[in-house]
Structure 1
Amino acid sequence: MRRSRQHRVIGGVCGGLGRYFDVDPVLFRIVLGVLAVTGGLGLLVYGVVWLFSPEHGEEHNEGHRMLSGQVGGQGMAAVLTALSGCAVFLTTIGRDSEDPFPLLVTAAVLGGTYWSRRRRREVAQAMAADPGGAATVTDAPPAAGPPPAPGGPSWWRGGTEESGYLWGPDDGGTDTAGPASPPRPPREPRSPLPWLIGPVALVVGTVATSLSWSRPLGTALQIGLACALAVIGVGLVVSARYGRVRWGTMVLALVVGGLLVCASALPKSIGTEWHTQVWRPAGVAQLQPRYELGTGAATLDLTGVDPGGRTVRVDAEVSAGRLRVRVPDTVRVEVSTRTDVGVVRLPAGRGSHEDVDVVVNDRRNTVLVPTAPVGERKDGTLRLWLRIDVGYLEVIR
C-alpha cells in the first residue's frame, strides 16, 4: 500500500487505501473523520499509516527517513497527527457513556466497501464480456524491475551522501579492494536545540503540575504531562526546521505519552494532600453508614461497639494510604475487603490463618469468630466492607 500523490487531501492515506482496496477513498475519509471527532482514533490511525506507508513512486516511508536522521515536513506532520489523536483519545478514557455512533458508522462504511467492491466486480465482468469497450486502467503501479546491483547505497541510509543522515556504516572504504570512496562533505555543526527539549519539557511540566496541585492527583499529573508533551511536540517541529531531531526526543515523547496514560487511569478520589483521621464511635447510635478518606492514614476503632443482637454493617474506604480497623473480640465479625494494589493483613479467621499478602485487584471474605471467654461474648454481628485503592489495609482484633 502506497500513499496517493494525485488523490490526496492531507497525506494521501485515504487515496492510497482506496486504490489498494479498489474502493472509493471517500469511504475511508468518512470513517476516519468520524473516528477522529468521536475519540481521536481516526487521527491516531491516520498518523501511523502516514508515517509507515511510502508515497507512490518512492521506496522508503517517512518513519524510515526519521530513523535514518533525515527529517522532513511530512514526517513531522505524521508524528504530530498521531500524537494529537493520542491526546484526544486519552481525554475519553474513564468516561461512563458508551457511544455506539462510531461503531454504526464503521459498520456502514464496511457495508459500503463491500457493495463498492461487488459493483466493481460486476463492471469488470461486463467489460470482459465486451472487450471492445474496455478502458485502460490509469494510475497503474510501475512494472517490476530487476533488483539493484550490489555496491549501491545501503538500505539503512536510503539515499546519497548529500541526504544528510546522521548514522549508518559507510557504503565503501579505502581498506577494501577497489577504488576509494569519495571524501565525505564536512558535516554541518549540530544545533544545541534538540538537547534543550527535554529540560524545558521537564520544567514546564513541573510548573504546570505545581499550579494544579490543589486538584486530584491524577488531574494534576495529566495537566503537567500534557504540557510537557506539548513542549516536546513544538520542539520536534522547531528542530526539524532549524536543527536535527534526535532519536532520544522521540523516545522521550513515547515515555511521556505512556505516563500520561497511567495518570489518566488514577482514581479521581486520590488527592494531593495527606490527612490523618481517627474514627472512634462509642456505640451503634454513633456509627456512620460510611467512613471515607481520600489520601492519608485512617483508623476506625470499633472496639466499643455492641451490636445488641443485630447485624450492623459498616463501610470504610481510603483511596490511597493506610486503612486500619480495630474490631472487638466479643462478637462475630464478617470482613469483606477489596484492594486494587497494596498490602492486606487480616487476623486468623474461620478456615484461614493470619497472613500478610501483597495483592493486585484482590477481593476476599473472612469470618472472625469471638475469642473472648464465653461469659463475655455478646450476640450480634459486625459486617465490614473495606476498600482501598492503593496502600495498606489492616484489620486488628
Structure 2
Amino acid sequence: MPQAYIDTYYSRTLASPDAYPAAAGPIQADVCVVGGGLAGLTAALKLASSGRKVVLIEAQRVAWGASGRNGGFVSAGYATGLAAIERRVGADGAKELFRLSMEGVEIVRSTIEALGIEEARPVPGIAKALRYDSAGAMRAACEKQRRDFGLQLRYLPRDEVRSLFASPKYHEAVLDEGAFHFHPLNYARALAREAVRLGAAIHEGSPVLSADLDGPRKIVRTKQAEIVAEHVVFATGGYTGSVLPALRRAFLPIATYVLLTERAPDLVQSAIRTPAAILDDRRAGDYYRLVDDGSRILWGGRITTRTTDPRDIAALLRREMVTTYPQLSGLKVEVAWSGLMSYARHLMPQIGRWKPGVWYCTAFGGHGMNTTAIGGTVIAEAIAGESDRYRLFAPFDLAWNGGILGRAAVQLTYWAYQASDAAREWRSL
C-alpha cells in the first residue's frame, strides 16, 4: 500500500480524491516512466498525447515527494546562476539553456489554461528581495535580463519594497510579473488525470524492485507486475532507490522545510501587502507567499543534508518569519513539514540518455517547477523523435555526488552562505 500524503497545506486542499491501482501482471508498453512527480507526469502526458502506450509507476502516490509539497514558485532560471552555467557551456549555450527554463514556465502556464486546472490557483508575480543595498547591481541585472531575454521584470526601490513587504530587513527587489505561484499537488494530479484520459496507465504503490535494461526490450519489475517496454524513463527525485545505481550516486538528497500559519487575515496583511510571492535573495534564505486569499502565510526555508525531520521544524521556521516581520510575533503555526529534493553537485538538472532506451530526468531541487516541465518535455520529444534538445544538458551529466564527503561539503557550503549573508546584511545596517 502506498503511503498517504503527509500533512501539508496542499494535502489539506486537494481538489479530488483520485487514486490509481498498483501495477499487476504482465504489462506491455512503448514507454515505462518510473516516478510520478512533475517531470514523469509531464513526460507521460506528452508521450500519451503523441499516441505512445505509456505506463507510469510510482512507489507512493502521484506527486507524493517534492513535487507535491514545495513552495509552488514558477519562474525562469535554475538552482545555479547564469554565470556558473556560462563557465561550463559558454555564453551562447547558457542563453539557450536559460530560454529553455523560460519555456518551462510557459509549459506550466499554458497547461493550466488549456486543461482548465482552476484548482491549481495560479497567482501572478514573484519578487526577489535583497536584505542589503546592492549599490546599483540589482537594477543593472534587472535591466540586462529584460534586454537579453525579454523577461517582464520591474525594479522596486527601497520605499516601494517596504510598502509591499513591511519589514525593515529589505532594501530593494525585482518583481517578475511573468512568473507565478500555484498549488503544485493539484496541478500534478490534473496532469495524471489528463494522461489517463489520453490512454496512459498510472499505477501508485508500485516501487520498482529490479530492472533489466540491456536488451532492446527493457523489463521493469514491481512486487506484482512485470512491465516490458522499449523505453524506460527514470524521473525520480530525492527519494530515488537503488535500481539504477548510476542515478543514485549522482544526486544529493537535500531537505527543506515549510510551514503554514493559522488564518489571520488582518495580521498577515499588516506584514505582507502584495499577492506576489517573495523569494529572499540570500543563498541561505527564505521563500514565502500568501495563500487562502491572503489569510495565511506559507513560509519555506532552511536546507540541510539530514534526511530525518528535526523535532522543531515549526520553531525553526517561525523564528525566521518573526525575525523578518516582528509584527507577526503573535501569529501561530498550524502545520509544518519537510521534503527531500534532489540536487546534483553542479546544481543543474540531470536530463539525458544513459544508454539506448534508458533515460533519466532528475535533480530539479531549488528550481523545480519550470525545470521539471522542460525536462519531461525534452525527454518525451527525444523518445518521439521530435527533437534532440535534451543534449543541451549533456555537460551536466550524472557526476558523482561525492558520497558522505559530498553531503558534508554541501552542509559546510550552506553554513558559509549563511555567514556571508549575515555579513552583507550587517554592512547595510
Structure 1 and Structure 2 fold alike (TM over 0.5): no
Q: Between Structure 1 and Structure 2, whose CA radius of gyration is higher?
A: 1
Query: Hey, which of these two has a bigger chunk of helix by percent?
Result: 1
Higher RCO, Cα 8 Å, sep 6+? 2
Name the structure where strand makes up a greater proportion of residues.
2
Q: TM-score if structure 2 supplies the norm length?
A: 0.18
